[in-house]
Structure 1
Amino acid sequence: MKPTLETIEATILHSGLRNYKFKNSHVHPQPPVEANKGAIFAWRNKPKMTLGQGVVITSLEALVQSPNEYTHWTPNVYCYGTYTDKIHHITQGHTESNLKQINAFTIDIDIASETEPFNSNDLLLESLTLGLMPTMILKTTRGYQMFFILSEPAYVTSHSNFRVVAVAKKISQSLRQYFAQDFPVDMTCNHFGITRIPRSDNVEFFDSTYQYPFDKWLSWSLKQADELDQSKVFPDNHKQSLRQVDEPWFSLLLNQTDIHGAKGCYGRNNAIFTLALACYASGISQSRCLETLTHFNLRLHTPISANELRKTIRSAYSGTYQAASRTFIIPLLQQWVSSDLTAKDLFGKQIWVKTQQPRTSRKNSFLSEWKTDLTAFLLHHTSAESPYLQTTQSRISDVLGIPARSLAKLLKLMQAAGEITLRTRRGRNGGLTIAHRNVLASAFIQAKQAQAKDFFYRVIAIIADMPVRSARRNKPSGFRYVTSREYLHSHPYSGTPGAG
């Protein structure tokens, strides 16, 4: 059953608003006995949003009483909301310093061109690879917006010195960087700002079972940082004796003249703000920074106004930020200087770390390398039409050269992680029925497009949290394919979508 807009909005907001209006309630004529909660903001169209002409909403009743009236909103809750004018047109309060609770991480993806189209199914598949599914996907005029809803909101408090905002930003940035590898993600939009609002005409996907706690997102983000391994090779800015203005990237960016503004990419304002932060972190006075960046701005082919330049520098010197982040420096320089630049080219002295020997020079292999071999083997010999492979453990061991005990351990670990489905049969005609989650996800997408939604939910319940990328190859000797229909017939599923 398709959820109502009220259910969707209540799921996202996590009781951040009152249930009923304090005045003029159509449900509770008497003022409800509810404690003051937070506020969100909504706008009826994009031009009004640009002008700041919005509405402050403090109850779920006020939000849902006019379905499809608004086009944009703030899915995260603020401490308060107010107006700057007497006729209540211009809203005030949707700033980061006023955040009360963080409910969602959002990703804005724009369709860059018609030559590389994609749809919500592609985003779901990439999420299966990620291992964390979006709660909602909205269709926008130029692409999609993905919402990853927290199972419980992250509350912003002065007791923790507002650290949760900084941590949540890093998680959000890691999430954007992950999807930016394959999709045109807007990396410049505010992490906890304005997004599209769910309406009856734009909800492409919604499943309330896909909500994860903040701790799980934090663990995933830390793992992503470890995989990048930049922190182990290059120390943080505050650990370096080298000032940011003395690092190679600063002069490279300062000497560029062809930097302009464009939606979805780092433009002039980002470049000037980054340079100003570097000056601030390096102890350079604000007046000297203004003089330096004024010359830089005048050299640009399309400079910004003098007022905007001063405003950007004041923001950099406000004390809210400590230094220019390498998370932004690297893509900024890769976009406007050279796409071949690496962290080694842009920053100061590196710290050498020990690296493992190449596999060809070692007698033994690591379990992760055998995992790669087994994954490639399964993707090579199965397809969406026949995702299940019947074989034996000894045959896999012979083909891939993995010792029997190591293979048994590997299969157990991959099954526990949900990377494969595995069924063993004892006896003379026994063996394994095995399928990789990549191939199962491909079968799920084809089933969704070609058959009824009932079959789609049955398959996704089996393959939840599994990625996809596969192609049929020649079947090796001693193996028999099992179709997804045969497997589902022998393993009937009953339950709710997303369960398990």
Structure 2
Amino acid sequence: MKPTLETIEATILHSGLRNNKFKNSHTHPQPPIEATKGAIFTWRSKPKMTLGQGVVITSLEALIQSPDEYTHWTPNVYCYGTYTDKVHHITQGHTESNLKQINAFTVDIDIAPGTEPFNSNDLLLESLTLGLMPTLILKTTRGYQMFFILSEPAYVTSHSNFRVVAVAKKISQSLRQYFAQNFPVDMTCNHFGITRIPRTDNVEFFDSNYQYPFSKWLAWSLKQTDEPCHFKTNTVRRRHPHRQVDEPWFSLLLNQSDILGAKGLYGRNNAIFTLALACYASELSHDSCFDILNRFNLRLHLPISTNELKKTIRSAYSGTYQAASRAFVIPLLQQWVSSTLTAKELFGNPNWVKTKQPRASRKNSFLSEWKADFTAFLMRKTSTKTPFLQTTQACISDALSIPSRSLAKLLRLMQAAGEIVLHTRRGRNGGLSIAHRSVLALSVIQDKQATAKDFFYRVVAILAEAPVYRPRRYAPSPFRHASRSTHLRGHTSSALGRAPTVAGNRH
């Protein structure tokens, strides 16, 4: 049964609002006796949101009275909400310092003109590889918004020195960087700001079973970063003061002149503001910072106005921010300097960075390079109509020039990681039946009789039934003969037609 908007909104908000209105309630005429709860903000259109003309909502009843009245909202709950004018038009309070509880991480993906189109099924496939599924996907005018809802909200309290906000930002940044590898993710939007609101015309996918605790997201995020991250606020005294203007990234960014400004990119204004924060953290004077950034701005092909430059520097020196964040520095340099830059190159000594030689000048290849060759080979040989490739280990080894032992190790690692589905058959007519998970999942999606929920259960069933690939270590090899297609077709159809039998297993 299709979930209602009330169910979706209640799942996201996690009891952060009152159930009923305090005044003028249609269900409870008397004021309800409930503990004081938080508030969210809604807007009726994007132009009104730009002007700050919104509505403060403190109860779930007020939110669901007009299901399609609002276009934007704040899915995370704030301590309070108020207005700055007497007619209650301009809202105030949706700031990071006023956050009460974090309910979800959001990823905003925009389909830019000229880029390869995609749909919500592609996002679900990428999430399947991630191992953490989105709870909600909304269709927007330019793309999609994904909501990864926490099983329990992360409360922002003064007892922890509001540290949960900093940790949640790092998790959200890691999540966006993961999807940015294959999709045009808007990396500049606020991590806990305004998003689209669920409506009757934009809900593409919703499954309340896909909710994960904050600790699981934290463990995943720690594995994604390429730098040590301890999420501690303790400061350590240094014998020599550390200045951000002396780090390699500062000079690399300062020498760029082709930085442009565009929505969804770390562009020109972000670069100037980041450089200004580095000057402020390095204790440079306001005038020195202006001289440095004014020369930088004049070198740009499309510079900003002097008044806007002064306003940006004044904001950086206001004391609200402490220093340039690495979460912004790394993607900013990867966007405009080089996409292969790492944290060690940007914040360490660039003269001691060890780089690998080009593949053409090396005798041996890395396992990751063989993996890329094999994946491309498998994609060329298969399709959604015939997702399984019937071949032998010797044929693959000859086609890709991969040693037999290295190929066996590669297949075993890819199967253990769930990237491929592999079946073997021994004997005179033995061989391999290999399918890439994405191709196999797309073949199930294209089945008109498969629903969105059955899609995941069927893929899980296939992955669960696949035996571990263990090649024989003695001759004669059973992989030197072609396999019969009849056995493969029968096995494939049975795997796609069965659902997992383990009760209560959620993925």
Q: Does the alignment reach a TM-score above 0.5? A: yes
Q: How does 1:311-460 map to 2 (within 5 A)?
A: 311-336=311-336, 346-350=346-350, 383-387=383-387, 401-402=404-405, 418-419=418-419, 436-447=436-447, 451-454=448-451, 456-460=452-456
What's the CA shift string for 1:21-68, capped at 9, x where partnerless? 111111111111211111110000011100100001111111111111
Could you say what the CA RMSD is over the residues aligned between the two structures, in angstroms? 4.4
The answer (yes or no) to whether the contact 1:176–1:187 under 8 Å persists in 2 is yes
Going from structure 1 to structure 2, the CA distance change for 1:36 and 1:230 (only over 3 Å counts) comes to closer
The residue matched to 1:16 in structure 2 has which SS? Answer: coil
Identity %: 72
1:482 aligns with 2:485: no
Amino acid of the structure 2 residue aligned with 1:173: Q
User: Could you tell me how far 1:175 is from its partner in structure 2?
Assistant: 1.3
Q: Report whether the alignment pairs 1:134 with 2:137.
A: no
Q: Is the deviation greater in 416-425 or in 134-143?
A: 416-425
Deviation at 1:17, TM superposition (A): 0.9
In the TM superposition, residue 410 of structure 1 has moved relative to its aligned partner by: 8.0
In structure 1, the gaps of 5 or more residues are 468-474
Counterpart Cα distance in 2 of 1:252 and 1:391: 49
1:239-318 map, 5 Å: 243-256=243-256, 259-294=259-294, 296-297=296-297, 301-304=302-305, 306=307, 308-318=308-318
Preserved contact between residue 387 and residue 482 of structure 1 (Cα < 8 Å): no
Q: What is the CA distance between 1:342 and its match in structure 2?
A: 6.3
Rounded Cα–Cα distance in structure 1 between residues aligned with 2:403 and 2:292: 61
SS at match of 2:222: helix
Does structure 1 conserve the Cα–Cα contact (< 8 Å) formed by 2:431 and 2:481?
no
Find the aligned partners of 1:246 and 1:431 in 2 and give their Cα distance.
59
CA separation in 1, counterparts of 2:250 and 2:295? 15
Post-superposition CA distance 1:395-426 (Å, at most 9, x none): 9999973499x97x985x87775555678999
Cα separation, 2, equivalents of 1:465 and 1:78: 42
Give the distance between the partners of 2:112 and 2:338, measured in 1 at CA: 21
- After superposition, residues 17-96 of structure 1 pair within 5 angstroms as 17-96=17-96
- Going from structure 1 to structure 2, the CA distance change for 1:62 and 1:403 (only over 3 Å counts) comes to same
Mapping of residues 481-500 of structure 1, within 5 Å: 481-482=488-489, 486-488=493-495, 491=498, 499=506
Q: Which runs of 5+ in 2 are unaligned?
A: 230-234, 464-479
Deviates more, 1:7-16 or 1:371-380: 371-380
Q: What displacement does 1:357 show?
A: 12
Counting matched residue pairs gives: 477
Instruction: Name the SS for the 1:170 alignment partner.
Output: helix
Aligned to 2:471: none
Question: Counterpart of 1:222?
Answer: 222
Three-state SS of the structure 1 residue aligned to 2:446 is helix
Question: How many Å separate the matches in 2 of 1:161 and 1:310?
Answer: 32
Conserved 8 A contact 2:248-2:350: no
| Partner in structure 2 of residue 152 of structure 1 | 152
- Partner Cα separation in structure 2 for residue 237 and residue 141 of structure 1: 48
Question: Is the contact made by 1:40 and 1:57 (CA closer than 8 Å) also made in structure 2?
Answer: yes
Asked if the contact 2:156/2:164 (under 8 Å) is kept, the reply is yes
Distance of 1:466 and 1:194 partners within structure 2? 39
> Bigger shift: 377-386 or 100-109?
377-386
Q: Secondary structure of 1:385's partner?
A: coil
Q: Structure 1 residues 317, 439: CA separation in 2 closer, same or farther (over 3 Å shift)?
A: same
CA separation in 1, counterparts of 2:194 and 2:286? Answer: 31
CA distance in structure 2 between the partners assigned to 1:335 and 1:375 by the alignment: 27
Task: Tell me the TM-score normalized by structure 2.
Answer: 0.78
Q: Is the 8 A contact 1:242 1:348 kept in 2?
A: no
Instruction: Classify 1:269/1:372 alpha carbon distance in 2 versus 1 (closer, same or farther; 3 Å).
Output: closer
* TM-score (structure 1 length as normaliser): 0.79
Ranked by relative contact order (alpha carbons within 8 Å, sequence separation 6 or more), the top structure is: 1
Deviations 1:462-490 (A, max 9, x none): 325999xxxxxxx9713542368622477
| Deviation, structure 1 residue 347 | 4.6
Q: Give the whole-Å Cα distance in 2 for the aligned partners of 1:154 and 1:422.
A: 41
Kept after mapping to 2: 8 A contact 1:391/1:479? no
SS of equivalent residue, structure 1 residue 482:
helix
Kindly indicate whether the alpha-carbon contact (under 8 Å) linking 2:290 and 2:310 is maintained by their aligned counterparts in 1: yes
**1:250 positional shift:** 2.6
Partner of 1:144, secondary structure, is strand
Contact 2:250 2:275 in 1 (8 A): yes
Amino acid at match of 1:122: D
CA–CA distance in structure 2, aligned partners of residues 266 and 489 of structure 1: 43
- Alpha-carbon distance between aligned partners in 2 of 1:426 and 1:490, rounded to the nearest angstrom: 25
The match for 1:472 is none
Aligned mates of 2:21, 2:383 — CA distance in 1: 55
Contact kept, 8 Å, 1:460 with 1:497, in 2: the verdict is no
* 1:193 CA drift (Å): 0.4
Stretch of structure 1 that moved more, 253-262 or 192-201: 253-262
Counterpart amino acid of 2:200?
S
Quote the residue 1:13 is aligned against: 13
Q: How far apart are 1:355 and its partner, in Å?
A: 9.8
Give yes or no for the alignment of 1:4 onto 2:4: yes
- With over 3 angstroms needed to count, the CA separation of the structure-2 counterparts of 1:115 and 1:253, relative to structure 1, is closer
The answer for the alignment partner of 1:470 in structure 2 is none
Shift in Å, 1:212 = 1.6
**How far 1:167 sits from its partner (Å)?**
1.1
Q: Flag the 1:498–1:331 CA change in 2: closer, same or farther, 3 A.
A: same
- Per-residue deviation, 1:187: 1.0
Q: Secondary structure, in 3 states, of the residue corresponding to 1:24?
A: coil
1:325, distance to aligned residue in structure 2 (A): 2.8
Quote the Cα distance in structure 1 between the aligned partners of 2:496 and 2:340: 52
- Matching residue of 2:457: 461
Q: Indicate how the Cα distance of structure 1 residues 296 and 373 shifts in structure 2: closer, same or farther if over 3 A, else same.
A: closer
Q: Which moved more, 1:70-79 or 1:149-158?
A: 149-158
Judge conservation of contact 2:431–2:482 (CA < 8 Å) in 1.
no
